[in-house]
Amino acid sequence: MVFTIRTIANALAPAQISRAEIRDVVVSIYTERCNMARALKDTDSIVRSLELSLGAVIHFLFCAIYLTIWCVQRQAIHCLCNQGTSS
What integer pLDDT is reported at residue 44 of this predicted model?
85
Query: Does any domain span residue 87?
Result: no
Q: pTM for the full model?
A: 0.45
The C-alpha atoms of residue 56 and residue 62 are separated, in whole angstroms, by 10
Query: Does any domain span residue 4?
Result: no
Domain residues for the domain of 39 are 18-82
The C-alpha atoms of residue 82 and residue 29 are separated, in whole angstroms, by 70
Query: Does any domain span residue 37?
Result: yes
Cα atoms in the 13 Å half-sphere on the side-chain side of 66? 6
Query: Does any domain span residue 38?
Result: yes
How many domains does the chain divide into?
Answer: 1
Query: Does any domain span residue 27?
Result: yes
Query: Does any domain span residue 7?
Result: no
Residue 1 has pLDDT above 50, yes or no: no
| 26-79: pLDDT as tens digits | 888 899 999 888 888 888 888 999 999 999 999 999 998 888 888 766 655 555
Query: Does any domain span residue 65?
Result: yes
**How many CB atoms neighbour CB 39 within 10 A?**
10
Torsion, CA 32, CA 33, CA 37, CA 38, rounded to 10? -30
Distance of alpha carbon 52 from its chain centroid, rounded?
13
